Structure 1
Amino acid sequence: MENVQNQPKIMQQSQSRIPAIYLAIHAIQAHLAKVGIAKSHSTKSNKNKGNSNFQDYNFRSVDDIYNVVTPLLTENNIVCIPDVKSTNVEKLVDSYGKVSHHTHIEVEYKFLSILDESFVTVTMAGEAKDSTDKGSQKALSNAHKYCYIQMFSIPTKSSTDIEQSNQYYDNNNQQSYNYSQNAQYQQSAKQFSPK
């Protein structure tokens, strides 16, 4: 009769349950990897045309992030609970005597699965500069936005766009070329793939 204690540990590990929070995070990352969230807003506006020091750039607004991520959290039974750990507000006065406030915050976000109460925490810094009383709200929005971007590895392009950007065409025969066809890439992939 075989001794139960001699059974491989691998069998015991494979029967253990993966916490629901990790499965949910993976599901959200997999979805976002396919669709991405584009940088669809631009800082270009009439109010900045006279300011030669102002740099134009594209960005994703906090609402863009919320509109995509919040339904995914709900579908995957996750709640996100913020806890502000620290706040620091600096009063700044420019050379014209105009006062603004530079707010720095540190927020811990708890991502909790309502299925099994498993959770992960993420600590994120946020900052904002404001001349009125909105610095804290802006800093909180900044921290939350970048927490989601980092937590779920949100790309700025869809996987279709990424695949297209990884391909190029040979000028002579117009054949498609994908980096995965490269011999060096295949050798590297074999080295790191599970045996």
Structure 2
Amino acid sequence: MTTAKDLFIIAMDPQPDRSVGQGDLSLALAGAELIDLIGAQVVTLDGDSIVPGGPAAPDDRQLGEASEALTRQVPYERVEDWLWRRGRDLASAYQSALEAEGQLTRGRSGRSIFGSERLELVDSPARRQARHRWEADEPVLAALAAVVGVQSAPSEEEPELDDEAVTTVLAIVNDAVMELEAVRQRRSIEKAAFANVWRAP
């Protein structure tokens, strides 16, 4: 399993007190893919630019698609641009992939971040692995989950990340999610203002 799939599973686990937005999750999934590509030495970072390495093909299909989507000519793509480009509808793509793998089933009731029809996680080795990483407070998964609003139990120790490239990606993911929230708020204000104009006598 990849960090992105583990993140998706953690975001899908039923928690009545939280709601994960598809846009936020899509950006975080793109960041998770990039972190796994860095870990596999498929890419490196030069500042905030993504520099492709060798033509290594990850075993995971979604991660392989991410690798194929890399910009391989100079000027290389910046992490922020990658998040917005790769992240477009990425949560839905992961939903479809996990459904095809039998990791998700459609429930009869309740609601989901993906619409009115409830999606339920199957009790599988993949889900247990994701939960194990989560309960172990694995720093990268915990940081990505926190960005999209999924909080783990408070830890006595601050998570330590000794990889500068990973730290850079996490910071840019956080900034992108904040930017998306700012856009949402601006649109909400604009809609309210427009509605008030039409209500005015």
Scaled by the length of structure 2, the TM-score of the pair is: 0.22
Rg larger in structure: 1
Bigger strand fraction: 1
Larger RCO: Structure 1 or Structure 2 (Cα < 8 Å, ≥ 6 residues apart)? 2
